[in-house]
Amino acid sequence: MQKIKFLWLREDFRLNDNPAYQAISNSDEKFQIFYSFDEKKFKERSAQRWWLYQTLQKLEKQLSEKGILFTIYASDEIATIKNIARSQTVGSIYCNELYEPNEIKKDLAIEAFLKVENIEFRKFKGNLLQSPFSIKKKDGTPFQVFTPYWRNAEEQYLKGANYSKKISKFKAKPVDNNNKEILEQFIKPKKNWHKKFEKYWSVGEESAKLLLKEFINNKISEYATNRDIPSSSGTSRLSPYLAFGEISAQHIFDECYKISKKNIGFRKYINEIGWREFAHHLINHFPDMETANLRKQFDKFKWVKDNNKLKKWKMGMTGYPIVDAGMRELYETGWMHNRVRMITASFLVKHLRIHWMEGEKHFRDSLLDFNTANNIAGWQWVAGCGADAAPYFRIFNPILQGEKFDPEGIYVKQWVKELSNVPKKFIHKPWELPGEESEKINFNLEKDYTKPIVKHEEARKLALQAFADLKK
């Protein structure tokens, strides 16, 4: 009996530019593809369940048309592989690597099991430009500062040879993948709020390609300026597609690099890819970051536990319009503009002095583009307790941030509808709107919106005092 090859899909839901798929499809041997839905991995990733549900449906149709059997399992990933190995004549299992400590540990366990079963386990380059372990300082220690890390990492990548991206063309009768029950019962989100994501996103590999093309042709030249303007459409919005592997970091880098000498926006944009690489570098060299401060001095920081203020932050009811706009954009779309992510995160950890892990958990559950390394590294950076972190004493003034990056109040008025008639002079500080002007527009701060839950100057003073206490 001919042994069967299996391709294990994880965070690589694309057929082009997929090294494991390329290798298995060009082998001229029979193969199948599977995905294992582990409920535990998505327990606190509600928004991403919607994207996963959508992308698996698209991929199922795509593979069916190619005559490739694609099976979705609802079980622990190790258990799934053990069942496949023991119930079928398996010759080998192919996959692309994941670069997070828990995933690496899991792969080692799977590799050990398959070796005993005499089944080949072939792993290919995952969705990073290079392994997080390949970039080190001259003394062999890991980088903790982004700029020298990325200078070395980019140089190393450009020296390396890229793999061929050609794949076999299939001509086969469609097959019935029959995954409907698993998709509906286990993966489809149970919360109705996900439904609105359909207005903002078109899921899948082809959509990712179109977005990248549009970005390079029409947006990247102004990216250095527009990336900080939340009301503009100046960013690529590729992050959810990258998180699910519907497009690769390599493909984005390579396509952008073609215009690197012609376009000033290239450098600013590609640094975002670099930050993603750096985050994975950090979390693998310092795996305790997932649950602890990288800078141990922050273990003594006097965080405040205030569930009421935390709830108001999540709801976008802090009384600071730029903060509330960001939190409402997140709830509505599953995404938030990067500048506003920094503003909202800073407000939580510095104005409210609520532990960064509370914010990290909320973003994990709400972001379509959630990625463990990015999320952890980003929150620790804002909180001042991570690598190359923003100093804790750098406290964003949400009023000034709004006035600088949303001077007309376009972004605020898009998401905080109750402020739509407030003049731009007061849009970022509506509590200063004079009574007579409030009457003219029929606006009552407490009734129609909310008073600030903290005063900026007081909150800033308390935050700096808490930081000063660390040094005692």
172-230 confidence digits (pLDDT tens): 677 878 899 999 999 998 877 788 999 999 999 999 999 999 999 999 989 999 999 99
- Residue 256 predicted with pLDDT over 60: yes
pTM of the predicted protein model: 0.94
Q: Per-residue pLDDT averaged across 22-46, rounded?
A: 91
pLDDT in tens, 71-116: 999 999 999 999 999 888 899 999 999 999 999 999 999 999 999 9
CATH number of 127-159+204-285: 1.25.40.80
**Dihedrals φ, ψ of 92, to 5°?**
-160, 155
Which of these, 251, 273, 279, 293, lies nearest to 162 by C-alpha position? 251
pLDDT of residue 145: 94
Q: Which residues contact 241 (CB under 8 A, 6 or more apart)?
A: 205, 207, 208, 211, 247
Q: What are the extents of the domains in the chain?
A: 4-126, 127-159+204-285, 296-470
**Fold annotation for 296-470:** DNA Cyclobutane Dipyrimidine Photolyase, subunit A; domain 3 (1.10.579)
pLDDT of residue 176: 78
SS3 91: strand
- Range of weakest confidence among 50-59, 137-146, 201-210, 261-270: 261-270
How far apart (Å, rounded) are the C-alpha atoms in residues 443 and 413?
14
Which of these, 426, 427, 412, 390, lies nearest to 340 by C-alpha position? 412
Q: Do domains 127-159+204-285 and 296-470 have the same CATH topology?
A: no
Q: Per-residue pLDDT averaged across 431-458, rounded?
A: 96
How far apart (Å, rounded) are the C-alpha atoms in residues 59 and 70?
9
Largest Cα–Cα distance in the chain?
86
pLDDT of residue 427: 98
**Fold annotation for 4-126:** Rossmann fold (3.40.50)
**pLDDT > 70: what percent of the chain?**
96
Q: Per-residue pLDDT averaged across 311-331, rounded?
A: 98
- Residue 171 predicted with pLDDT over 70: no
Q: Which residues contact 154 (CB under 8 A, 6 or more apart)?
A: 270, 274
pLDDT in tens, 338-356: 999 999 999 999 999 999 9
Integer angstrom CA distances of residue 383 from 191, 271, 272, 375: 31, 21, 19, 12
pLDDT of residue 389: 73
pLDDT of residue 388: 83
- Residue 161 predicted with pLDDT over 60: no
